[in-house]
Structure 1
Amino acid sequence: MSYRALIIDDEQLSRRIIQTFLQDEATINVVGEAANGPDAVVQILEQRPDLLFLDVQMPEMDGFEVLRAVWPHHQPFVVFVTAFDSYAIKAFEFSAADYLLKPFDRRRFNQAVERVKNQLTLQAGAGASQALRALLAELRPSASYVQRLLVKEHRKMFFVKTDDVVYFEADHNYVTLHTAVKKHLLYESLTLLEQQLAPQQFTRINRSCIVSLEHIVELQTHFNGEYWVKLRTGETLKWTRNYRDNLQAFYRPS
């Protein structure tokens, strides 16, 4: 059995050490490297690796933000390569993943690799997913909602900040992301997307639409408990009565 791995670390020396240590691992094939969070997200979604060697502290996005971005789409096993505090290290001892505390030696590296290879062999993906979800929520509760979304256009992938989104609209099997100047396609369901968005920032107004509260100019009563929603862009959307309970979003603390 052969497994695909990505090495994600902003330190070139650390990447080279991991690459060197893996040369004797016939079952692990390194399919790429990344030196920052956004590049890591793109490579994970393109390469679909079985295993990540993932740094925690990196430019632009840290390791936890990388996992949050890719987790709805792909869930590899993760070995964190970190100088993180003792609380994180203790937490990983009870999870299905492993950690490498910098600086690490070959013996400790081999232990981590063997542990993850055993988990891969046993196909313990569900257990790993639950452990990492719990760990992410525990370590970084303040950043539990996505702050930017990965979109694809003309064979290129890039991020759109959620602050720039006016509304999301279901489009058959996809979701159209509307900003003030452009539209983008997202390849996931509106319901799954709703779970990832901060409720203080977004609310669902009908079966097919989630709107940014910041971009709502006014509500106009329609009839039968429904409203017209006027946006800063000049567009008007309908807030249907089946979702009128979501009006409480206007009274949530920011």
Structure 2
Amino acid sequence: MMRVLVVDDEPLARDGVRARLAAQPDVSCVGEAGDGDAAAQAVQALRPDLVFMDVQMPGPSGIEVLRRLPPSVRPLAVLLTAYDHFAVAAFELQALDYLLKPIDDSRFQESLDRARAALRHRSQPGVDTAATPWVERFSVRIGQRIAVIDASDIDWIEAQDDYAGLHVGSRVYLLRESLHQLSLRLDPRRFVRIHRSTIVRVDRIAEMEALSNRDCLLRLRDGTPLRASRTYIDPLHAALAAR
């Protein structure tokens, strides 16, 4: 059972997070707090696995509360805010995710799934509890050979039925894994989902063009055009702000 603490100075916002958590059979909401000082006390007393932490609130900010905790006892954190300019601090703290208000249901579910994956990683014997589970390389079968692909070489990734297509320059390598499961294993500081079927490496983005329906057209450094869905625009802006 994943133990979750909800921190937000707005009661309605806390209610919204709690309602979403109540629909998760493997999640227990162990407490809540409405300001920075109460949040710090609750984290120390309850030792949650995961905290949904508002950034701006009375007393110490959510970011300051997390900074004061030693990494060895700091819970996994999903930061909540109405502004994307806190993204840099979020990534410095290795926050698990960064949700902009109003919270999108599909993004909320992705955050929980990422927390589940991180907790499974931490529970493995001999694993440093402060370590992150982000994958650094992939083994991909090509005929009778196995190719090893470094995550740092990937430009973007697309869903291809039951596979994920890893685009490395002009080559595409098929990895037998769903895009959703793969997204949970990629470092969110380097890779961001921009569509249900597309993940892009942030430092490969050269330019963005806003479209009339709040979608965006991205162009990568090699000229590749990719469409970013409006559902993922806010996390995309947050990831770019953290570069």
With the shorter chain as reference, the TM-score category is 0.3 to 0.5
TM-score, L = length of structure 2? 0.48
Structure with more of its chain in helix, by fraction: 1
Larger relative contact order, structure 1 or 2 (CA cutoff 8 Å, min sep 6):
2
* TM-score normalized with structure 1 length: 0.46
